[in-house]
């Protein structure tokens, strides 16, 4: 039985967290976005048009003695923010930290949307959602985690994302030194292929928790905390000068003073998003006004507990117990 750990580094404003992986023989090193909100492992590849590659590392299946084309298989994915990619599929050896999966489905991109072309540091996505939403046709493929699970001491992984600093993904064990206090556990609804859960309520600043169920997903691949419009309005009503700025596509407010904390419940525990984490990023060079890290989930159908929420905590994604554990750190 094994365990593994790999460091993930924050991009500017923690917009995404990029993590090294190796594919093929000899190993080809790429840096990808681990995404608990999707279930495809896809990478920039030599099968793409040169104009769509701007600085990314690419996977070359012809340069790997262990690659094997999955004949007739294709994939196409469109994310909620409208970005997309598509291509064909190889089986090849994938290594993350000290964990290796010999016949992992590696989805080689032939096309990617501009959002990916214009993100020079990101060479692809590694889905850590449930394999039920893998997009490979005609036969959906397993995620890296689903393939490595049987070799792990226990079928779980943990995230320890940080604000402006490298964090870590651990596989197969809970590091007691990575968190403080108790872990609050809550059941996972994976019926849509996500790490879904329901928070019992929220609070703004130091007020007491309001009973208001929030159903959402724990999603490392989404930058912000996307919540029901009514909760977002309630939060920003307590932030001086906050307003919805349609040109920015969300709530903006003066970068000073620091806005109030946002607290959400997890079972009978709470998770606190400090006000300075809600200050997502300045929208002007004078750093006068800031774009909020909390925005509306309108149109998605569920809330998204993205990096703004996840980086406050040590989070356990437990596939064995089908539960999420949140702890302070
Ligand atoms: C931001 C957003 N809006 N809507 C409607 C959804 C569903 C999202 C989340 C999203 O799309 N996340 C993402 C994007 C690219 C790669 C990985 N995950």
For 260-313, what is each residue's pLDDT tens digit? 999 999 999 999 999 999 999 999 988 799 999 999 999 999 999 999 999 999
Q: With 90 as the cut, is the pLDDT of residue 59 above it?
A: yes
How far, in Å, are 176, 210, 286 from residue 316 at the CA level? Answer: 12, 25, 39
Is residue 37 in contact with ligand 1, taking CB distance under 6 Å?
Answer: yes
Helix (H, G, I), strand (E, B) or coil at 20: strand
Query: What tens digit of pLDDT does each residue of 1-54 get?
Result: 899 999 999 999 999 999 999 999 999 999 999 999 999 999 999 999 999 999
Residue 233: φ, ψ to 5°: -65, -40
Q: Looking at residue 287, what is its pLDDT?
A: 78
Both tokens assigned to 223: 């930058």
For atom 10 of ligand 1, the residue with the nearest CA is 80
Question: What does pTM read for this prediction?
Answer: 0.98
Cα of 74 vs its chain's centroid, Å: 24
How many residues does the structure list for the chain? Answer: 329
Q: Please give the average per-residue pLDDT across 89-98, as a whole number.
A: 98
Edge-to-edge order in the sheet of strand 303-305: 269-273, 262-266, 196-204, 210-218, 303-305, 225-227, 294-296
Per-residue pLDDT band for 314 (boundaries 50, 70, 90) equals: very high
Q: Is the CB of 76 within 6 Å of ligand 1?
A: no
* Residue nearest atom 4 of ligand 1, based on CA coordinates: 80
Per the CB < 8 A criterion, the answer to whether 99 and 4 are in contact is yes
CA distances, 293 to each of 160, 205, 311 (Å): 18, 15, 12
- Residue 281 confidence (pLDDT): 95
pLDDT in tens, 130-172: 999 999 999 999 999 999 999 999 999 999 999 999 999 999 9
Q: Is the C-beta atom of 221 inside 6 A of ligand 1?
A: yes
What's the CA gap between 172 and 167, in Å, rounded? 17
- Quick one: pLDDT band at residue 104, thresholds 50, 70, 90? very high
Residues 175-191 have a mean pLDDT of: 98
Q: Is the CB of 244 under 6 A from ligand 1?
A: no
Q: Is the minimum distance from the CB of 192 to ligand 1 under 6 angstroms?
A: no
Contacts with 186 (C-beta within 8 Å, 6 or more apart), sequence order: 197, 198, 199, 266, 267, 323, 324, 325, 326
d(CA 66, CA 245): 51
pLDDT of residue 285: 87
Please state, as a whole number, how many other Cβ atoms lie within 10 Å of the Cβ of residue 285: 6
CA 34, CA 36: separation in Å to the nearest integer? 7
For residue 320, give every residue at least 6 positions away whose Cβ sits within 8 Å of its Cβ, in sequence order, or none. 154, 155, 156
**What separation in Å is there between the alpha carbon of 79 and the centre of ligand 1?**
5
Measured CA to CA, the distance from residue 37 to residue 126 in angstroms comes to 10
ipTM over 0.95: no
Cα distance between residue 249 and residue 243, in whole Å: 11
Q: Which of 20, 226, 197, 10 is nearest to 126 (CA)?
A: 20
Query: Considering the chain, what percentage of its residues have pLDDT values greater than 90?
Result: 99
Query: Would you say residue 125 has pLDDT above 90?
Result: yes
For a substitution probing ligand 1, which of 222, 302, 303 has the most ligand atoms within 8 Å of its CB? Answer: 222
Q: How far apart are CA 236 and CA 280, in angstroms?
A: 14
Pocket probe mutation, ligand 1, options 17, 18, 19, 80, max atoms within 8 Å of Cβ: 80
The predicted structure's pLDDT at residue 286: 87
Give the pLDDT band (50/70/90) at residue 64: very high
Neighbouring residues of 191: CB distance < 8 A, sequence distance ≥ 6? none
């Amino acid at each position: 039985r094994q365990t593994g750990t790999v460091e993930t580094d924050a991009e500017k404003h923690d917009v995404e967290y990029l993590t090294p992986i190796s594919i093929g023989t000899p190993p080809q090193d790429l840096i990808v976005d681990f995404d608990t909100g999707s279930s495809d492992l896809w990478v920039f590849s030599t099968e793409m048009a040169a104009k769509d590659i701007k600085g990314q590392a690419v996977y070359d299946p012809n340069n790997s003695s262990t690659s094997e084309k999955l004949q007739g298989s294709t994939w196409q994915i469109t994310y909620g923010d409208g970005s997309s990619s598509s291509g064909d599929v190889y089986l090849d050896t994938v290594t993350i930290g000290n964990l290796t999966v010999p016949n992992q489905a590696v989805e080689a991109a032939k096309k990617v949307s501009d959002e990916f072309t214009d993100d020079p540091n990101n060479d692809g996505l590694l889905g850590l959602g449930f394999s039920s939403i893998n997009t490979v046709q005609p036969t959906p493929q397993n995620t890296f985690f689903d393939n490595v699970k049987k070799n792990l001491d226990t079928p779980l992984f943990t995230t320890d994302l940080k604000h402006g600093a490298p964090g870590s993904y651990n596989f197969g064990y809970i590091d007691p030194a990575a968190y403080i206090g108790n872990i609050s556990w809550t059941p996972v609804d994976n019926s849509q292929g996500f790490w879904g859960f329901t928070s019992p309520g929220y609070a703004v600043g130091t007020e007491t928790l309001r009973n208001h169920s929030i159903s959402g997903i724990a999603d490392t691949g989404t930058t912000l905390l996307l919540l029901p419009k009514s909760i977002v309005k309630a939060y920003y009503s307590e932030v001086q000068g906050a307003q919805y700025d349609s040109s920015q596509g969300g709530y903006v407010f003066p970068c000073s003073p620091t806005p109030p904390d946002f607290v959400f419940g997890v079972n009978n525990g709470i998770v606190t998003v400090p006000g300075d984490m809600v200050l997502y990023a300045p929208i002007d060079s004078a750093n006068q006004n800031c774009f909020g890290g909390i925005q509306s989930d309108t149109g998605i159908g569920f809330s998204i507990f993205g990096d703004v929420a996840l980086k406050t905590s040590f989070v356990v994604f437990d596939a064995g117990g089908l539960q999420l554990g949140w702890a302070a750190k």
